[in-house]
Amino acid sequence: TRNIELAVVAGDGIGIEVVEQGLAVLDAALAGTGTTISPTAFDLGAQRWHRTGETLTDEDLASIRTHDAILLGAIGDPSVPSGVLERGLLLKLRFALDHYVNLRPGKLYKGVKSPLAEPGEIDFVVVREGTEGPYVGNGGAIRVGTPHEVANEVSVNTAFGVERVVRDAFARAQARPRKHLTLVHKHNVLVHAGHLWRRTVEAVNADFPDVTTDYLHVDAATIFLTTNPSRFDVIVTDNLFGDILTDQAAAITGGIGLAASANINPDRTAPSMFEPVHGSAPDIAGQGKADPTATVLSVAMLLDHLGLTDESRRVEAAVAADLVERGARVRSTAEVGTELADRVRG
């Protein structure tokens, strides 16, 4: 028997509610498989910060590192100054654990209504770089609060960092039927970073000769996500563009209630982290209204990452079946979770 040590960071708001259901489905998926799971809850997020002033201590991080994977709900609360938890906790986890592949599928499941009039088949995946770009936190400001304030933000991009994520994206493209990779950037304006990305895609393509590639400026990408999302197979892009495009991708495939993500360390030098794309949604927190589906799909990605491929498929199939039948039924967070767990048990 194998035991999975899972770090659970439920976080804030609806994060707590959806993670509970994610864990229930995970239990259901592993029941009778010989694989067991030991979840450890980490008290991180707004409440901890209010109580102690801490976001993520070295001890927290060291302890999280000893786990096989992380399930995260959502981080953030209006009572905490903007950026404190995002930079001090969520991004700190992604950077410290070297989650350089932020994987976000854009898939329109059967039964889900897209806000697009003619969505067509939508089934792509965004490989968002997770440890560089404008997210590095290398900004600063002078004369803050005066008429002479200057506030800079630096996007840092390295050959090392770009190549490893591009390579990962090519491998994913190669494993898919269409074998197509789209680089999204803005190399006509951000010429230094953009040209590094472009040269890297061209160079790595030599090792994946059966993968076709194209390039879109980020502004044009938002157009095609509106008019022809079927054209996308694998998208590789930087941290900020990936953030933007994956919210748009979620919108056209039924909303962030369904959008899953995986923050992957492909070298497995630290645990990978699985989280819904949505935030803590303080407006509906504590009301049992949140849809746990995005978390459950993130659990499917977690199982896949741990090599539990059959279990992952069963979880995704349960969600797919649920989406076909859910129609306009209004269910609580727990009801959705319980029904999904029941389906997984079969």
Ligand X SMILES: CC(C)[C@H](C(=O)O)[C@@H](O)C(=O)O
Residues that bind ligand X (CB under 6 A): 86, 90-91, 188-189, 219, 243, 277
Tell me if residue 219 is catalytic: yes
Contact with its own copies (CB under 8 A) among 53, 145, 327, 346: 145
Q: What are phi and psi of 140, to 5 degrees?
A: -175, 170
Nearer to ligand X, 202 or 219 (CB): 219
Q: Which x/- pattern, by CB under 8 A, does the window 103-132 give for its own copies?
A: ----------xxxxxx--------------
Contact with its own copies (CB under 8 A) among 140, 214, 268, 286: 140
**34 interface partner picked from its own copies, ligand X, none, CB below 5 to 8 A per type:** none
How far apart CA 263 and CA 137 sit, in angstroms, is: 18
The answer to whether the CB of 196 falls within 8 A of the CB of 162 is yes
Is residue 58 a contact point for its own copies (CB under 8 A)? Answer: no
Token pair 């806000």 is found at 115
What the block records as the tokens of 201 is 């895609």
The answer to whether the CB of 137 falls within 8 A of the CB of 87 is yes
Nearer to its own copies, 39 or 137 (CB): 137
Nearer to its own copies, 137 or 288 (CB): 137
Q: What are phi and psi of 298, to 5 degrees?
A: -70, -35
Active-site hit among 12, 243, 304, 322: 243
Active-site hit among 12, 100, 168, 186: 186
DSSP codes, 253-286: TT-TTS-EEEEE-TT-SS-EEEEESS---TTTTT
Q: Quick one: which of 110, 133, 160 has its CA closest to 240?
A: 133
Contact with its own copies (CB under 8 A) among 45, 76, 106, 292: 76
Residue 144 Cα distances to 71, 123, 136, 148, 152, angstroms: 38, 45, 21, 8, 12
Is residue 256 a contact point for its own copies (CB under 8 A)? Answer: yes
Is residue 240 a contact point for its own copies (CB under 8 A)? Answer: yes
Say which DSSP state 297 is in: H
How far apart CA 296 and CA 302 sit, in angstroms, is: 10
How far apart CA 158 and CA 189 sit, in angstroms, is: 18
Annotated ligand binding at 22? The verdict is: no
Annotated ligand binding at 284? The verdict is: yes
Question: Known catalytic residues?
Answer: 135, 186, 219, 243, 247
Residues that bind its own copies (CB under 8 A): 76, 82-83, 86-87, 91, 113-118, 134-135, 139-141, 143-160, 163, 186-196, 198-199, 218-220, 222-223, 225-227, 240, 243-248, 250-252, 255-256
